[in-house]
Chain A
Amino acid sequence: MSLLSFHLQRLLPRGRVLDSPAQLAGYASDALGYKSYRPDAVVIPADAEELVGFMKGARQLGVPVILRGAGTSLSGGPVAAQGGVIVHSSGLKRIREINVEGFWCEVECGVGLNELDAALKPHGVFYPPDPSSGPVCTLGGNVASNAGGAHCFRYGVTSNYVLGVEVVLLDGSVHRFGGPAGGRGPWREDWKRFMIGSEGTLGAFTRFWLRLLPVPEKVWTFRATYPDLRSIEAAIHALVAHSSYPAAIELLDPRGVAMVESSQMAVGLPKGSFMLLMEIDGPAALVDARVEPVAELLRKAGSRDVVFSDEDAIRQKLWKARKAAGGLLGQLSPDYVVQDAVIPKRALAEVLQLVYDEADAAGIRAVNIFHAGDGNLHPNFLFDSRVPGELEKVELISERLMRRVIEVGGTLSGEHGIGNDKAAYMPLVFGPDSMRLQWAVPAAFNPTHQLNPLKVFGNRCFTA
């Protein structure tokens, strides 16, 4: 047994310590599968108390500490880029309280997003952020990356729903930022914002207090196809400004449509078309009255194929192409990189064209499936990391894309986080002064950068 394992076992008498090569391999990457880094060890604390105990002794270990939920992130966030110990939160799975009257709940960081949804459902309340990894991802990961999802167009991202965060720092001190009573925690209310989207660089989350909303009485889902980018763009612009206040506006490009239609998930979308998916929800009388105007708007923008329904079974079918698309990428290609840039909507057609042109010129397949309402692009570049040169091509396209995104007034990431995948692009957006200030925050919480080094800032190394 190595000295590290010996120390870890003392820190986690009830949890588990994994240190054999075959126990570390499974933790080598997140959902960005082609980038792998073998950690020195993995620990699975049995509960929050043990996590606190671990953090208290972690400084003495002299190796980086990386916090990890379900490892579904697409940014290379919860991986051991500089080696070290991965702390897997799968043991912290308690939903501690659902307060229906107060519209909040208290959950541990390892609770799965859809597990929480299932527990909330009988109470008629819901937690709005809905990243596509919902069946698996944990709330800890959601808060760390400030996750979004399809319905964030109307409902907003994770930070809009976090009332409070409990965090353990590397000295073992436990701090509560906010809580169900708003700003009455021991720290000032707004400090919790430092924690949301901090990507494991400040401390380890133990639990959260989350804001809930009443489940909408009625939901209508619409699907429309468009012959070209210009007409679907017109539809998006019209929807964004429309009084129906859509909850979600999603887009699948013709390459995505072709991918769905040539798979067993085919739903009969016209070849070469752009697919738009949108939803309205609210009180029945109100949303029912909005159905025809929305359908009319979609037709007017140029769709001859508008389908809509308020029945759950049919709505699920309408969503099917969108939901299936992400995984279908795996059937086409061994690896893919998905970018997460956010752009002003007026630049949509131009930036998408750039994606096609650059990818075509490099011989790389690109598929766009994204949250069109809030301009959150997800171009997926398909490649094979075993073919020399392919990854480099994808990285070059990504960089050119990012430069253009920033020129048109956009930014790097909408919901996936920076991780180590996008750290190199940070200086494209932020000037030296801004970088210096941002750097100062993790430096204040963990001066040696022992927590999740090489993430967010490409040169933020741990120095023992």
Chain B
Amino acid sequence: MDPKPAVPDYFSNCTHCGFCLAVCPTYKLTGDENNSPRGRLRLWSEEAAGRLPQDPWTDFYTAECVGCLACETACPANVPYGELFEHKRHDHVAAGRFKPALALRVAAAAVARPAWLNLALLPARLLRRLGLPLHRFLFKGRPAVLQSTADYTRDLMQRHRPTGPRVAFLTGCLMEAAFREINFATVRVLIENNVRVIIPDNQTCCGAFQEHTGLEGVDALRAQNRSAFLPLDVEAVVSNSSGCGYALGKSLAPDKPVRDVLDFLGELGPVRRGRDGSTAQLYVDLPCHLVHGQKLAGIPINVLDATGYRWEFAPNAKDCCGSGGVYNIQKPENAGAILASKSAFLNEAEGAPVILGTSNHVCMMQWHSAGASGIVTRPYEVKHIIQLLDPGADFTIRGEVLASPAIQENTCAKGY
């Protein structure tokens, strides 16, 4: 990895055109230009150049950023805002200008040690398994309490012996510790689609948590993941969380591609689930770190079609839901306001049941909280798209008959 430059050029390519204002959730919320990418870049560069003294307002506006990276997509001058922001946030935390909440500091230590986190969140898995909701962020699901995704995968691989492409799978920290059922579903879907899945034991957290909080430790996590994933003889490393995939992609670049599992399945043409007569309606939201971070066009149409549900994109599907990694914990008021405008459509949405589908567990937590905190007053389910492709416990590879051996074109809807 290249060493980080001591002081990056914060205003590098920025021509101050202002195109970032229109897509910035905090500018839209406050109407204050300092609370936009153009404003923040100006504050950082002025301070770096010695024209602006250290000011608590610079710290405030820096901490206000959700980190959704919509500005990177909007920026015609390719300003690497995410990288600059990450650098700045790290500096602010290191210098004591911003202090993440105690819970987050503890969590940061825990995610770096997946075994501890798995143990610590065992009660959460148990309660979720028993269907007892204990927090507004904990969406419904029935995770295995004791069996790990790695063990489960080894069993399934033995039983089904797929012969197709080989991939390594990032199980994640919180994903594995709290929302393991999504990992299990991911493995089932991959194997059903004849994909050979390898789970290296020595993998660790992708480092996104440290990036989001600005806390130390990301370099060690990146190094460990490089030693875990790079020696493997696989076509790609796949991730089922767009944020984790984005962070791991940065760690493994340029040596090994990290693919979003839905994007990867789009190329294979996944087995379609039949849901004839279903009155359910799926609304698809696109995580920021999928479209603005990984810069994918979206979730492939053939994957969404394969869920078997009637589906459409949620309004403003490419806009942030306010989750922003840990933003909804650090800035709950802003995150709630962003979510409120984003999720309002659910109150009037058609379908029985209504399913909100996305591809990042942190966004799922945020979407779930819309119901738990009373923003959305009608019942709805939050699902990972991979769960909607899940064949369940009893399945055969591609239904034993290879329905579509040719690789299908990975197409996305116009505009997405």
Contacts and interface: CB of A to CB of B under 8 A. Distances in A.
B32 A31 contact: no
Given A324-B76, A330-B76, A330-B79, A26 B16 contact: no
Interface string A19-57: 011110111111111000000000010000000000000
A313 interface: yes
A25 B42 contact: yes
Contacts of B52: 21-22, 25
Contacts of A72: 17-18
A18 interface: yes
A90 B32 contact: yes
A23 B22 contact: no
A91 B31 contact: yes
Contact of B14 (A18, A114, A324, A330): A330
Contacts, number: 118
Contact of B46 (A25, A71, A88, A326): A25
Interface size class of chain B, counting residues whose CB lies under 8 Å from the partner chain: 35 or more
Interface string B71-98: 0001111110000000000000000000
A99 interface: no
Contacts of A21: 52-53, 55, 57
Interface string B44-75: 00110000110111100100000000000011
Given A28-B42, A72-B18, A334-B11, A22 B76 contact: no
A33 B14 contact: yes
A96 to B, nearest CB: 18
Contacts of B22: 70, 112, 114, 135-136
Contacts of B15: 31, 33, 327, 329-330, 335-336
Interface string A123-154: 00000000001011100000000000000000
Contact of B19 (A30, A32, A135, A312): A135
Interface string A313-350: 10000000000101111110011100000000000000
Greatest chain B CB density within 10 A among A33, A44, A91, A133 is at A33
B16 A33 contact: yes
Given A26-B42, A33-B15, A330-B13, A18 B32 contact: yes
Contact of B34 (A22, A329, A331): A22
A193 interface: no
A362 to B, nearest CB: 21
A70 B18 contact: yes
A71 B42 CA distance: 14
B21 A70 contact: yes
A16 interface: yes
Interface in B331-390: none
Nearest to B36: A26
B414 interface: yes
A22 B58 contact: yes
Given A44-B32, A330-B77, A23 B17 contact: no
B58 A27 contact: no
Nearest to B47: A22
Contacts of B40: 26
Interface in A242-282: 264
A136 B18 contact: yes
Contacts of B31: 44, 88, 90-91, 93, 110
A241 B27 CA distance: 45
Nearest to A92: B31
B18 A23 contact: no
B317 to A, nearest CB: 15
Contact of A327 (B36, B38, B46, B75): B75
A31 B75 contact: no
A209 B55 CA distance: 42
B100 to A, nearest CB: 21
Nearest to B33: A26
Given A26-B34, A26-B36, A324-B76, A71 B18 contact: yes
A29 B16 contact: yes
Interface of A: 16, 18, 20-23, 25-33, 44, 70-72, 88, 90-91, 93, 110, 112, 114, 133, 135-137, 264, 312-313, 324, 326-331, 334-336
A-B pairs with lowest CB-CB distance, top 6: A327-B76, A330-B77, A90-B31, A33-B16, A26-B39, A22-B55
22 contacts: A21-B53, A22-B61, A23-B32, A25-B42, A25-B43, A30-B16, A44-B31, A71-B18, A90-B27, A90-B31, A91-B31, A112-B22, A133-B17, A327-B77, A328-B76, A328-B77, A329-B15, A330-B14, A330-B17, A331-B77, A334-B12, A336-B15
Given A27-B34, A110-B31, A327-B77, 8 more contacts: A23-B32, A32-B16, A70-B18, A88-B33, A91-B31, A136-B22, A327-B15, A330-B15
